[in-house]
Amino acid sequence: MAQVRNKQVILRDYVSGFPKESDMKIVDSIITLKLPQGSNELLLKNLYLSCDPYMRILMTKDTSAGLGAHTPGFPLTGCGVSKVLESGHQDYKKGDLVWGITKWEEYSLVPATGMFKIEHTDVPLSYYTGILGMPGMTAYAGFFEVGSPKKGDNVFVSAASGAVGQLVGQFAKLTGCYVVGSAGSKEKVDLLKNKFGYDEAFNYKEELDLNATLKRHFPEGIDIYFENVGSKTLDAVLLNMRLHGRIPVCGMISQYNLTQPEGVTNLAHLIFKRIRMEGFVVSDYYHLYTKFLEFILPLIKEGKVVYVEDIAEGLENGPAALVGLYSGHNVGKKVVVVAHE
């Protein structure tokens, strides 16, 4: 039986405050590339790993978010694209490509549940960590199912160049909406306007008065705010929502690293404007995945939807890639390449 090196990204201990690279360590362990006798799991070779904001929430002992937690001393868990080396499950066979929940290491033994078989390989495989994976489904479900958009709606997206935001903006344009995005650098703002087709975009770090900024971009108010950040942005948005507006709440990345979250003060506007604010988690919508693929694959192939990835080469660069999310270092979807097949 072949024993090989299995490089891993291990969580040292639970994290409080902003995560640092040193909260993780790279170790070389040894793995036997053989499925244990009688196992119905999958032995995977990991190819691409996904850096997602929610992973910070799993770095705390507090599991009240209901997402589970990473375990100190063990590899991080997260979404990835992998190749099946050996399968104990009837739905998979050696050589299959899959995406789903795997671990931050070169080889993983994981349950087949929560895995999707990759049927379409005429697109970049890394897309299954992004536009064709969890973030893509998140944008699709959040915008279309929770946001209830209609042609002509005014849409605002925060973290708009991120893994999810870049798609929400493009979906909004395809729906005939007016869409404005916020991001944290000039480079990202340029991407929003010149690559993703946002009508307008601004760098929130340069705006002294977000309320005034939103009033300028939305003189008639916002119908849909796709919420990725929380806090001050949400507060300014609440002042600028239109009657019967919708706020799909996808994430609140500004809050994940704070021991004391910032307060949102303008919630009474939910009443005045009759706003529906609705949190959602993508896993409730995976029954729509086939429908989503039928929607998105032609758009990708025709160039009508584009996707920007920010690639880190090598598992050893994983900690920096992940940590960088929380200060906005990534430009587009952050992916870690473990192996090119």
Q: Which residues bind its own copies (CB under 8 A)?
A: 64-67, 230, 234, 239, 243, 249-252, 255-256, 260-281, 284
- CB 49 to its own copies: min, Å: 23
C-alpha to C-alpha distance for 312 and 320, rounded to whole angstroms: 9
Nearer to its own copies, 14 or 299 (CB): 14
Nearer to its own copies, 150 or 274 (CB): 274
How long, in residues, is the chain? 341
- CB 244 to its own copies: min, Å: 9
- CB 212 to its own copies: min, Å: 14
Q: How far is CA 199 from CA 155, 194, 202, 216, in A?
A: 10, 9, 11, 13
- CB 14 to its own copies: min, Å: 18
- CB 6 to its own copies: min, Å: 32
* Neighbouring residues of 106: CB distance < 8 A, sequence distance ≥ 6: 5, 6, 7, 8, 31, 45, 46, 315, 338, 339
Nearer to its own copies, 20 or 274 (CB): 274
Q: Is 2 helix (H, G, I), strand (E, B) or coil?
A: coil
* Neighbouring residues of 145: CB distance < 8 A, sequence distance ≥ 6: 280, 285, 288
- CB 181 to its own copies: min, Å: 20
* Neighbouring residues of 89: CB distance < 8 A, sequence distance ≥ 6: 40, 41, 42, 112
∠178-158-305 over CA atoms, to 5°?
A: 60
- CB 88 to its own copies: min, Å: 31
Nearer to its own copies, 32 or 255 (CB): 255
The amino acid occupying position 269 is H
Nearer to its own copies, 118 or 134 (CB): 134
C-alpha to C-alpha distance for 140 and 123, rounded to whole angstroms: 19
Phi and psi torsions of 178, nearest 5°: -95, 130
Nearer to its own copies, 189 or 250 (CB): 250
Nearer to its own copies, 234 or 323 (CB): 234
Q: How far is CA 251 from CA 56, 161, 162, 208, 317, in A?
A: 12, 14, 12, 23, 25
The amino acid occupying position 222 is I
C-alpha to C-alpha distance for 152 and 254, rounded to whole angstroms: 29
Phi and psi torsions of 303, nearest 5°: 75, 15
C-alpha to C-alpha distance for 35 and 57, rounded to whole angstroms: 31
| Chain centre distance of CA 208 | 28
Nearer to its own copies, 49 or 252 (CB): 252
C-alpha to C-alpha distance for 26 and 69, rounded to whole angstroms: 19
- CB 254 to its own copies: min, Å: 10
- CB 313 to its own copies: min, Å: 32
Nearer to its own copies, 239 or 331 (CB): 239
